[in-house]
């Protein structure tokens, strides 16, 4: 679904020729995969996501979305149709005064018939469980609901992949939960390819694969268990692990017979019960 080959990127206002925001990034994301990208502020995560969506073009190397080359400007609308993007601030993404009009914005721009638009809007809102809010003004919704409407707006364009750039950073705990459940549902139920960028380590535990970025490079890659067992490496690049994983790791360090890589409360409870 997404392939990058020897990707390098330098911002246009960067004077130093050797200062790249992204260096030699080679990733392959399969159809239907759920990939989480973590990294500290300024590590290149958001830059990468903007390249995947054709907002920026590679300085060197290539990116293919569904075999389409993002540096070919004539393909840009086709690429954005296939790889939609959801950003951090829900208030910056909603444009219309009524929820369903907002969701219809994308398909309208695609020049679809009004019957088709109606169908897609309804389907999209149902997928994010916001069907009951069709005729509400977006500013009456909570943060989590607004973010789900933003997701519906992308779904209405029938993409194959959605890139989420910190979609939960501004939400309260229940809003985060709603959005994460929606993302997981889309991935599991509709086989949507998901690229999810986040600073919340506990949102990464359900991913198929985690990519860790530092200084514009991918420095670690693997399943959540593989990645989060590298507690010291992650800490050294300004990251963290979920609290239960840290606890499991700390207990293992002082001699407990634990795997040290539990990702959820249930897993750790089970292992601790074995010790009892």
Partner 1 sequence: MSIKITDLSHIYDRNTPNETVAIDQINLTIESGQFVGLIGHTGSGKSTLIQHLNGLLKPSEGEIVVSGYNITEGLDQTHSKKRSQRKKEARARKKKLIEVRRRVGLVFQYPEYQLFEETVEKDVAFGPLNLGLSDADAIERVKEALSLVGMDYNDYKDRSPFDLSGGQKRRVAIAGVLAMKPEVLILDEPTAGLDPKGRDEILGQIKHLHEKEGMTVIIVSHSMEDMAKISERLIVMNRGRIVLDGHPKEVFKHIDRLEEIGLAVPQISYLARALVEKGFDIDPTILTVEEATQCLAQKLNRKTKSGELC
From the CB of 237, what's the least distance to partner 1, in Å? 8
Q: Does 199 bind partner 1 (CB under 8 A)?
A: yes
Secondary structure (H, E, C), 167-219 = CCCCCCHHHHHHHHHHHHHHHHHHCCEEEEECCCHHHCCCCCEEEEEECCEEE
Measured between alpha carbons, how far is 100 from 170 in angstroms, rounded to an integer?
Answer: 23
* Residue closer to partner 1, measured from CB, 135 or 276: 276
CB under 8 Å, gap of 24 or more: what pairs does 38-42 form?
Answer: 38/197, 38/198, 38/199, 38/201, 38/204, 38/210, 38/211, 38/212, 38/213, 38/239, 39/212, 39/213, 39/214, 39/237, 39/239, 40/214, 40/237, 40/238, 40/239
Q: Does 12 bind partner 1 (CB under 8 A)?
A: no
* Residue closer to partner 1, measured from CB, 188 or 238: 238
DSSP 8-state symbol, 56: S
* Residue closer to partner 1, measured from CB, 60 or 233: 233
* Residue closer to partner 1, measured from CB, 70 or 145: 145
* Residue closer to partner 1, measured from CB, 45 or 80: 45
Sketch the per residue contact string, 211 through 250, with partner 1: x for CB under 8 A, - otherwise: ---------------------------xxx-xxx-xx--x
Side-chain half-sphere CA neighbours of 92 within 13 A: 7
From the CB of 27, what's the least distance to partner 1, in Å? 20
8 Å CB contact between 167 and 86: yes
Q: Does 174 bind partner 1 (CB under 8 A)?
A: yes
253: exposed, middle or buried (C-beta count within 10 Å: 0-12, 13-18, 19+)? exposed
For residues 163, 27, 12 and 84, what is the CA-based torsion angle, rounded to 10 degrees?
A: -20
From the CB of 224, what's the least distance to partner 1, in Å? 15
Q: Does 132 bind partner 1 (CB under 8 A)?
A: no
Q: Does 136 bind partner 1 (CB under 8 A)?
A: no
Q: Does 137 bind partner 1 (CB under 8 A)?
A: no
Q: How many residues form the binding site for partner 1 (CB under 8 A)?
A: 42
Q: Does 6 bind partner 1 (CB under 8 A)?
A: no
Question: Which of the ranges 77-85, 121-129, 154-162, 265-273 carries the binding residues for partner 1, by CB under 8 A?
Answer: 265-273
Rule CB under 8 A: which residues touch partner 1?
39-43, 88, 142-144, 166, 169-177, 199, 201-202, 238-240, 242-244, 246-247, 250-251, 254, 256, 265-266, 268-269, 272-273, 275-276
């Amino acid at each position: 679904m997404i392939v990058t080959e020897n990707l390098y990127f330098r911002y246009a206002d960067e004077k130093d020729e050797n200062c790249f925001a992204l260096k030699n990034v080679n990733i392959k994301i399969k159809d239907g995969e759920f990939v989480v990208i973590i990294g500290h502020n300024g590590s290149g995560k958001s830059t990468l996501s903007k390249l995947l969506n054709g907002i920026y073009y590679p300085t060197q190397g290539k990116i293919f979305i569904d075999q389409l080359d993002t540096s070919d400007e004539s393909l840009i609308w086709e690429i954005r149709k296939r790889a939609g993007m959801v950003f951090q601030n829900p208030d910056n993404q909603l444009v219309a005064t009524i929820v369903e009009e907002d969701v219809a914005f994308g398909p309208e721009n695609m020049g679809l018939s009004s019957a088709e638009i109606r169908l897609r809007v309804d389907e999209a809102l149902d997928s994010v469980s916001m069907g009951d809010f069709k005729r509400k003004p977006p500013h009456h919704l909570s943060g989590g609901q607004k973010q789900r409407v933003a997701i519906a707006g992308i779904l209405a364009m029938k993409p194959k992949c959605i890139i989420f750039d910190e979609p939960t950073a501004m939400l309260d705990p229940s809003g985060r939960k709603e959005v994460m459940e929606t993302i997981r549902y889309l991935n599991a139920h509709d086989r949507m390819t998901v690229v999810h960028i986040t600073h919340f380590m506990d949102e990464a535990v359900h991913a198929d694969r985690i990519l860790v970025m530092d200084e514009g490079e991918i420095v670690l890659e693997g399943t959540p268990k593989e990645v989060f067992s590298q507690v010291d490496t992650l800490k050294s690049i300004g990251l963290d692990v979920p609290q239960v994983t840290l606890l499991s790791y700390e207990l293992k360090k002082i001699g407990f017979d634990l795997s040290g890589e539990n990702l959820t409360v249930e897993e750790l409870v089970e292992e601790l019960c074995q010790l009892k």
